[in-house]
Amino acid sequence: MTFASDAPSIEGPDVVIIRPRHGWLALEVGVLWKFRDLLMAFGWRDVRLRYRQTFLGVSWVILQPLLGAAIFAIVFGRIARMPSQGIPYFIIAYSGLLGWTLFSTALTRASICLVASAELIRKVYFPRLLLPLGVVPCVLLDFAVAGVLMIGFMIYYRIVPGWGLVLFPITTVILLCMAMGFGIIAASLAVRYRDIQYIVPLFIQLMMYASPVGYSASAVPAAIRPYYDLNPLVAPIEIMRWSLLGVGQVDVGQLFYSIAVSIVALLIGLIVFRFTERRFADVI
């Protein structure tokens, strides 16, 4: 080994070059693909941790939306007497919570993923984007479990979905993209600003009441509807319910607005992430 001269050193196709990165457009999809096993390992770890104790784990996943729906059914259905178009109010609330829970758990878990893995970031190299991405499998599994329950309810109450069911996967993707976009932004900021982890739950709580989760958007007074519709969560949650129950209506313009917001959020998230990523190990 020697003190090196200044002549360029090694060349070759498989040579890894480590140098300061500028620019934020290169997303290194190839590198992500190389680390696909780790992505699966992260996802699988979360799933194992959540479903470890089979009884408690699964029942928690089921109980959460059930209790939420029950409370909404009492508050909005019984006390406030919101319209339900002949369908049990519990189902109205549960179908809203289906989409909402997907969004809020994905956002919550993505927003803390970097801080929670500080030790890993300081000690091991891997594309950091794997951490927020690794949240997805577990969130989707929770969503699937809640979805199976929804099917059970629909069979019990003899609700047959129409052709609108094709919109269900689209709304799922929109909600997930939006959650990941906001989640990645929050996660990047949380590395530097520790109060992000208190702001996010607050934000989520406010958004829940500003979205048609426990009630149908048609119950919102027409006077405030234009402002209400600014919330990009309105369309996907409302349309997800519509696709299952036929309750409410589909506003195509609103749907495209939400799609646009989710794409922009995801892009901004990736850019912010890219921009702050290089300092994660130094400041976390």
Partner 1 sequence: MSSDRIVVSTRGLSKSYVIEHRPQDSTVAEALFRLLANPFRSSAKEEVWSLRDVSLDIREGQIVGVVGRNGAGKSTLLKLLSRITEPTRGEARIAGRVGSLIEVGTGFQPELTGRENIFLNGTILGMRRSEIARRFDQIVDFSGIEKYLDTPVKRYSSGMYVRLAFAVAAHLDTDILFVDEVLSVGDAEFQKKCLGRLSDVAEEGRTVMFVGHNMATLESLCTHGILLDKGRLLHAGTLKETVAEYQQMIRPEHISQETVVARRVDYGSRYEHVRSADLVDESGNSTRCVTVGEKLAIRVALEMPLPLEGAVFVAWIDSSFGNCVLTLKTPRTGGPMERLHGKCEVTCVVDSIPLMPGEYVLNFGLWKGAGYIDLVDGNITFIVQNGDTFGDGWGAHATGVCVAPSRWRIERTVVREAAIAPT
By CB under 8 A, name the one of 48, 155, 156, 256 that touches partner 1.
48
User: How many angstroms separate the CA atoms of 154 and 152, rounded?
Assistant: 5
Please identify, among the stretches 36-44, 134-142, 219-227, 265-273, the one whose residues bind partner 1 according to the rule CB under 8 A. 36-44
By CB under 8 A, name the one of 24, 27, 32, 38 that touches partner 1.
38
Please identify, among the stretches 77-85, 124-132, 169-177, 268-276, the one whose residues bind partner 1 according to the rule CB under 8 A. 124-132
Cα 274 from chain centre: 19
8 Å CB contact between 106 and 180: yes
Both tokens assigned to 231: 């919330």
What contacts 208, CB < 8 A, 6 or more positions away?
A: 100, 104, 214
Work out how close the CB of 82 gets to partner 1 at its nearest, in angstroms, rounded to a whole number. 36
Identify the DSSP state of 130: H
8 Å CB contact between 162 and 246: yes
223 lies in the site for partner 1, by CB under 8 A? no
Q: CB-wise, 31 or 165, nearer to partner 1?
A: 31
Both tokens assigned to 143: 């969503």
* Lookup result for tokens 């129950």: 245
Please identify, among the stretches 16-24, 146-154, 224-232, 254-262, the one whose residues bind partner 1 according to the rule CB under 8 A. 16-24
Q: CB-wise, 33 or 156, nearer to partner 1?
A: 33
17 lies in the site for partner 1, by CB under 8 A? yes
Q: CB-wise, 202 or 252, nearer to partner 1?
A: 202
37 lies in the site for partner 1, by CB under 8 A? yes
User: How many angstroms separate the CA atoms of 184 and 109, rounded?
Assistant: 10
Q: CB-wise, 227 or 275, nearer to partner 1?
A: 275
Positive or negative: CA dihedral 144, 150, 154, 156: positive
Query: Which spans of this chain sit near partner 1 (rule: CB under 8 A)?
Result: 1-6, 8-10, 12, 14-21, 37-38, 40-41, 45, 48-49, 52, 119-126, 189, 192-196, 199, 278, 281-282
